[in-house]
């Protein structure tokens, strides 16, 4: 069974962007708030990448958690709750011949972890 009939009202380009964007939204809302430390950051990055590449049309996910923020954590528990400003994420999606990179990272000028379309090929 194909899902084509559900996406017949959008272009191939729009579908590739949609798949990348919905995956980025899933990442943000599933993982923000997760406890993270210097020791757990690499495995959390990998878990995020592996789980999100299971989404339709996603060819790769690259997640980087800001280690400087973790190093500067000033609490007795040696961990923080993951926040959007600690993430630098690239999600690559492809639908048919269209390839898209959706990105999220903290933009100092905006003081906000912005999600946006970085590339469309």
Mean pLDDT (the chain, rounded): 94
pLDDT, tens digit (0-9, with 9 covering 90-100), for 15-28: 999 999 999 999 99
Which parts of the chain are beta strand (E)?
35-36, 58-65, 80-81, 87-95, 98-107, 112-120
Question: Which residues constitute the domain of residue 45?
Answer: 4-120
Domain count for the chain, please give it: 1
Look at residue 112 in the predicted model and tell me its pLDDT. Answer: 96
For 101, other C-beta atoms within 10 Å of its C-beta total 18
Q: Residue 61's domain is classified under what CATH number?
A: 3.30.1300.20
pTM attached to this predicted model: 0.91
45 Cβ neighbours under 8 A, 6+ residues apart = 63, 64, 65
């Amino acid at each position: 069974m194909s899902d084509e009939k559900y996406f017949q009202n959008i272009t191939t380009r729009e579908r590739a962007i949609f798949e990348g964007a919905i995956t980025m939204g899933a990442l943000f809302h599933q993982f923000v708030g997760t406890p993270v430390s210097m020791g757990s950051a690499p495995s959390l990055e990998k878990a995020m990448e592996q789980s999100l590449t299971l989404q339709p049309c996603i060819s790769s996910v690259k997640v980087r958690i800001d280690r400087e923020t973790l190093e500067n954590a000033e609490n007795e528990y040696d961990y923080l709750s993951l926040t959007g400003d600690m993430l630098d994420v690239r999600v690559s999606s492809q639908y048919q011949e269209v390839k898209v990179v959706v990105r999220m990272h903290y933009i100092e000028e905006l003081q906000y972890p912005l999600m946006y379309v970085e590339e469309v090929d």
